[in-house]
Chains A and B, each alone.
Chain A
Amino acid sequence: MIVSIASGKGGTGKTTVAVNLALALEGAMPIRFLDCDVEEPNAHLFLHPEIERSEKVSLPVPVVDESKCNGCGKCARVCAFHAILAFSSRTIVLPELCHGCGGCALLCPQGAITESPKVIGEVETGRAGDIRFAHGRTGIGSPLAPPVVKAVREALDKEGLGAGLTIIDAPPGTSCPVVASIKGSDYCVLVTEPTPFGLNDLGLAVGLVRELGIPCGVVINRAGLGDEAVSAYCSREGIPVLLEIPYDRKYAECYAKGGRLVDDFPELRGALKGLWRKISASGESGAEGEDGRREMGEI
């Protein structure tokens, strides 16, 4: 089963929920943890994985052979991202803008364009205790996150873990890197906080997961610190509130230090196991059952 942890708003405790869910279930089933927040990956700060492998992520960008190019300008006309400019004397590629679509190389009438890989980020895989771990990072000033997210999602595929649980820590927001992270999940947990910001951004996130057809439930973090509008919204929309984590300064301090909440606070270990029971139960009662779910053990 693939469970993604997302939130419209940043800083609601998405990584906290993802990491502590993984830790609470470690040992009970095979766990894979994918940190797909490739702009600001944070899960490693809490899981301290031993990194075993590191691979560069690259995108094919065009290289123009000037001896073959006749300056016809076709490449510049077809590029939807204005990443290649043709002048009569020279053709210039702007690699930061290139999406690697391959159009220019395919369509150049002179066959003057080949492609060479440009590094846009990296993916690291390893192990944190019994948890298989992968995360990625975009290069600084390299704005294309989705291909790096894709590489993280595929990083552990070759290990063929089969049954078990894959936890995806998604980036904040609702734009394309988020889609790349949560697409194909069996369930999406939306972490929010009980404030107007949390409510506003939760509404956006719900819109996105519904568009993608992913069943979702909500975790309200720092419950008690804000108002009741988020709970009211959830009941109105028929979205289950899976867990409320009360606001407590000692949780915030533990998080600040990079501590593991489930180790320091046994009540949270129980709460996160309960969260998992609700997720897996909703998976079974969901429209389409998947093979992986049947193999999941009880905790």
Chain B
Amino acid sequence: MISGKGGTGKTSVVASFAALAENKVLVDCDVDAADLHLLLSPEVVESHEFMASRQATVDVSRCTGCGHCSEVCRFGAIAMAYGHPTIDPISCEGCTVCSHICPEGAITMVDVMSGHWYVSHTRFGPMVHAKLKAAEENSGKLVSQVRRKAREIAESQGHELIITDGPPGVGCPVISSISGVDLALIVTEPTVAGVHDMERVLDLTCHFGVESAVCINKCDLDEANAERIEDYCCARGIEIAGKIPFDEEMVRAVVRGEPPVLYGDGAPDCAGPDSVAGEAAQAIRQLWDRVAVLLARDAGSF
């Protein structure tokens, strides 16, 4: 599940699916600003360090101050001061060029820890999530790592479905999140920014040949934009799998730290269509039913 634009309510929908779907593994691929754990209260059972990047370090005792390293670094990470290079760890991309070029062999590359990833237990099933350290890159690699683990768990424990909360944007981590999925569900909102970003993210899923469907959250916020989304998707042959009305209960559920479909006292099954459950919760149930149909149809083609 992706959104292009942040803040469209994607994580709330993912958490709801976690409560509604059976036999699944949950994955949070928004490794930069992971939020799914706030609704699913995972209990961490495995924690791993994520080592993917390297950084240049200078051995000052060998350095003659020739300045070659600073000339070749294209990322502006090496500044010469008092005759010796200093390396800015935030700017260093770990390209290794300086270490190869240094005539004195004074520069070596050291591994740095870029974050952690976790396997957790939740009341809705196993969950794999991660935390990238601030100012780190390689988010795409961490996403791949987390997805690989989820797949392993799904295969070894016989789970049929992997539900992924994807990151915002259209960059590396998004590309890593959608590669090889059966369905990308795009959660958008009827705002000019939501429409714009949905179009970009659909360009991306089409570019990689990923089957997509769209869900309009807060659909009654602006009728004209909601219509624009529907027309646009219709013209591109993309299904609108569901529409969720604006409902302050969605925010209250986040504050309570619960998936919005678990309104009031209820486990998912006790809130039938006639119950007190809010409009948004009902719409999410319908959305899930539709997504399950789309997935079943897809499964036929395995």
Contact across chains for A175 and B251 when beta carbons are under 8 A apart: no
The chain A residue with its CB closest to the CB of B200 is A40
Contact across chains for A175 and B175 when beta carbons are under 8 A apart: no
Most buried by A among B95, B193, B200: B193
Contact across chains for A256 and B221 when beta carbons are under 8 A apart: yes
Residues of chain A contacted by B140 (CB below 8 angstroms): 143
Contact across chains for B4 and A40 when beta carbons are under 8 A apart: yes
Contact across chains for A39 and B170 when beta carbons are under 8 A apart: yes
Q: How far is the CA of A275 from the CA of B224 in the complex (A)?
A: 32
Query: Does B285 lie at the interface of the complex (its beta carbon under 8 Å from any beta carbon of A)?
Result: no
Q: How far is the CB of B38 from chain A (nearest CB, A)?
A: 5
Q: How far is the CA of A204 from the CA of B33 in the complex (A)?
A: 7
Residues of chain A contacted by B169 (CB below 8 angstroms): 39-40, 145, 171-173
A residues 150-184 near B (Cβ < 8 Å) are 171-179, 183
Contact across chains for A253 and B33 when beta carbons are under 8 A apart: no
Contact across chains for A179 and B193 when beta carbons are under 8 A apart: no
Residues of chain A contacted by B54 (CB below 8 angstroms): 80
- Stretch of A26-34, A101-109, A237-245, A276-284 contacting B (4+ beta carbons < 8 Å): A101-109
Query: Does B222 lie at the interface of the complex (its beta carbon under 8 Å from any beta carbon of A)?
Result: yes
Contact across chains for A176 and B94 when beta carbons are under 8 A apart: no
Q: How far is the CA of A289 from the CA of B6 in the complex (A)?
A: 35
- Asked, given contacts A100-B74, A141-B175, whether A197 binds B192 with beta carbons under 8 Å apart, the answer is no
Residues of chain A contacted by B33 (CB below 8 angstroms): 8-10, 172-174, 200-201, 204
- Asked, given contacts A11-B5, A106-B72, whether A257 binds B35 with beta carbons under 8 Å apart, the answer is no
Q: How far is the CA of A46 from the CA of B90 in the complex (A)?
A: 33
Contact across chains for B94 and A80 when beta carbons are under 8 A apart: yes
Interface size class of chain A, counting residues whose CB lies under 8 Å from the partner chain? 35 or more
Q: Mark each residue of chain A from 190 to 206: 1 if its CB lies under 8 Å from any CB of chain B, else 0.
A: 00000111001100100
Interface size on B, residues (CB 8 A): 59
Most buried by B among A106, A178, A196: A196
Residues of chain A contacted by B72 (CB below 8 angstroms): 102, 106
Q: Among the listed A102, A140, A175, A176, which residue makes an inter-chain contact with B204, where contact means beta carbons less than 8 Å apart?
A: A140
The chain A residue with its CB closest to the CB of B140 is A143
Q: How far is the CA of A226 from the CA of B137 in the complex (A)?
A: 32
A residues 249-298 near B (Cβ < 8 Å) are 252-253, 255-258
Query: Does B136 lie at the interface of the complex (its beta carbon under 8 Å from any beta carbon of A)?
Result: yes
Query: Does B168 lie at the interface of the complex (its beta carbon under 8 Å from any beta carbon of A)?
Result: yes
Contact across chains for B8 and A11 when beta carbons are under 8 A apart: yes
Residues of chain A contacted by B234 (CB below 8 angstroms): none
Q: Give residues in B with beta carbon < 8 Å to A.
A: 3-8, 11, 32-33, 35, 38, 54, 72, 74-75, 90, 93-97, 100-101, 132, 134-137, 139-140, 167-172, 175, 189-194, 196-197, 200, 203-204, 207-208, 221-222, 224-225, 248, 251, 254-255, 257
Q: Which 3 A-B pairs have CB atoms at the shortest separation, nearest pair first?
A: A11-B7, A10-B6, A101-B95
